[in-house]
Amino acid sequence: MTNPSPPWWTYIQHVPTDIRRYQAVFLDRDGVLNENRSDHVKDWSEFRFLPGSIDAVSRLTRAGVRVFVITNQAVVNRGLVASSTIEDMHFRLRRVVAAHGGSIEDIAYCPHRPEEACSCRKPQPGLLLALAEKHRLDLSRCVVVGDALADIDAGRAAGCEAIMVMSGRGKEQHALGTAAGRDLDYRLVPDLATAATVLLQSEMVYV
């Protein structure tokens, strides 16, 4: 009698390391998924998805990429927005994405003001480290997508690759980094839709 084929997971360990690349993508929120506002996004009525962002998450999900969101929300400790309002926005965000075939597995946010000098406010890597521990992620096989140098710095500090989108504050932030003589330690793309395409064009196996 012919021996049955071994289960699929026995093959994973034999996949060459160079194509077992991206395990998860961490997205900044404002300026990447939705429009920035100079007066902050204070509730769901002010939440506006950027063109192509929902589809980008759906494409990543269908390809097997785990998607997370990390966002600074100092409006909470400034007393401008209640934490319950932030959590309601994130519940609705995940529901809309799910309705379009995508999945945001988890969302972590920092409520602290800059002067509180916490370890979770980007550019500190605390949000990434917390999600990596919670979800058993290898950060060396993850990518951060953001529209600010703080996003890039948080990702690099955690050992992730980084992509800056030119939506949101991206153009201004990239110009600031260039003017300061910063090394280009991130990829530069127009928006999240392009970032998803760039990531999915590579040969990758997600485990």
* Residue-wise pLDDT tens digits, 150-205: 999 999 999 999 999 999 999 999 999 999 999 889 999 999 999 999 999 864 33
CB 94 within 8 A of CB 107: yes
The string of pLDDT tens digits covering residues 90-134 is: 999 999 999 999 999 999 999 999 999 999 999 999 999 999 999
Q: What was the pLDDT predicted at 21?
A: 63
191 burial level (CB within 10 Å; 0-12, 13-18, 19+): buried
pTM score, whole prediction: 0.87
The string of pLDDT tens digits covering residues 7-60 is: 333 333 333 333 346 899 999 999 999 999 999 999 999 999 999 999 999 999
Domain range 21-201, CATH architecture: 3-Layer(aba) Sandwich (3.40)
Instruction: Specify whether 28 is catalytic.
Output: yes
DSSP reduced 3-state for 47: coil
Instruction: Specify whether 151 is catalytic.
Output: no
Q: What ranges do the domains of the chain cover?
A: 21-201
Among candidate residues 30, 147, 153, 191, the one labeled active-site is 30
Q: At what angle do helices 192-201 and 53-62 cross, to 10 degrees?
A: 20
